[in-house]
Chain A
């Protein structure tokens, strides 16, 4: 300990069996990034600051509003209209003047996620939308960062530790092993629409903070590769084991460059049809059990010889749906624009009865990535 005052501050946890000054030292050296300073972020931030985590980053582009105050306990009526990230730092710095804070008053995006996340050891997902959740997950996989996940809806909450590489021989589980693809817009209601009990994110956020402390100090048993669900109505806990899926990696951009091209906002706001990347497309081609439809006009170059497909120009697609027999359909075009339109049309026609995909980046993008293998 640096001095008596620091020892005094943390004395109650330093004296814990199995904790001690060594664990306290680990906390002071840890760098934790909290994505979302809302219902979950507030208790996470309060406890991480209180227990002595050395460096804390806070990402949130939102401002405080009156409807936040029933659950976002860091803020008061005087803060309405102020930046959450900046206000949180103001308040937390008073709680612990030794903590180093970095406020990121921005929305995490495919362009900035890797740069924001890179300097931190552990990332906390307390965000309130699927675009951010999938972005944070994929970035953590690409950068090998442990992700402590929490989410709430109405009276229930989920907590898990993803991408924790404590077992060098085992592939760690990530969010996509649980939910491979984002739900369609409006398929899952957010807090604004479905409601949330004020104390629930307090409980779930405190559980998240507990997982972070255990991970940093290597005490107890963290929820690594496990999902815990808590129900505030009856105090029931349900814990399940998560396992890696074989197709998950293909859904995540190949590297941080590919991540920058992946539009998470688009993926989570269009109806349930999905754009797929080249790697996932290759896997589908390998299965053979897929209808690949080229919706370009006849004669457009390059011609495709590398895989079986059918040519149905976009204008004729609606009249040709009886030709589509497979359960899975991938639509392709030159750059991925027309095929996205086509996928939207097919999705309206088939609803949930077929899996419809559009190849992101089109033939041109695919050729760039796979030319070597396929020529």
Chain B
């Protein structure tokens, strides 16, 4: 299993632009792992998209799933 995780906006300052992660089964698991590796992410708001679709509840991840974490932008 190898998951590609893409970060947007200010999240790149915490975790870089992309990382590859293995051994996570679903998005709850992923968030736990990310918060452990990057504690600052826990205090930050973001939406999660799996394979380019936003999710609102725990979602099973598959081999080669692509996950994107997108923070809100306020600037106009």
Give A residues with C-beta under 8 Å from B: 36, 38-41, 125-130, 133, 150-154, 156-158, 177-179, 183, 187-191, 194, 196, 201, 227, 229, 238-243, 245-246, 351-352
A39 to B73, CA, bound (A): 14
Shortest Cβ distance from B35 into A: residue: A352
Q: Are B54 and A158 in contact (CB under 8 A)?
A: no
A126 to B52, CA, bound (A): 25
Shortest Cβ distance from B56 into A: residue: A245
Contact among A150, A187, A194, A242 for B44, CB-based, below 8 A:
A187
Main secondary structure of the interface of A (DSSP, over half): mixed
Q: Are B74 and A188 in contact (CB under 8 A)?
A: yes
Q: Are A38 and B76 in contact (CB under 8 A)?
A: yes
Q: Are A127 and B76 in contact (CB under 8 A)?
A: yes
A177 to B70, CA, bound (A): 13
Expressed in whole angstroms, the minimum distance between the Cβ of A108 and any Cβ of chain B is: 12
Query: Could you jot down 23 A-B contacts, CB within 8 Å?
Result: A38-B76, A40-B76, A126-B76, A130-B72, A130-B74, A150-B76, A151-B75, A153-B73, A153-B75, A156-B8, A156-B9, A177-B54, A178-B47, A178-B70, A183-B72, A189-B74, A196-B75, A238-B6, A238-B52, A238-B68, A243-B53, A243-B56, A246-B56
Q: Are B10 and A189 in contact (CB under 8 A)?
A: yes
Would you list the 9 A-B pairs with minimal beta carbon distance, nearest first? Answer: A151-B73, A128-B76, A191-B75, A153-B73, A245-B56, A240-B49, A152-B75, A241-B53, A126-B76
Q: Are A227 and B70 in contact (CB under 8 A)?
A: yes
Given A38-B76, A126-B76, A183-B72: A154 and B9 interface contact (C-beta under 8 Å) = yes
Whether B36 is near chain A, meaning CB under 8 Å from some CB there, is no
A243 to B49, CA, bound (A): 10
Q: Are B68 and A188 in contact (CB under 8 A)?
A: no
Identify which of A150, A183, A351 gathers the most chain B CB atoms within 10 Å of its CB.
Answer: A183
Given A188-B74, A352-B42: A238 and B8 interface contact (C-beta under 8 Å) = yes
A246 to B57, CA, bound (A): 10
Query: For A152, what are the chain B residues with a Cβ–Cβ distance below 8 Å?
Result: 73, 75-76
Given A156-B8, A178-B47, A187-B44: A241 and B52 interface contact (C-beta under 8 Å) = yes
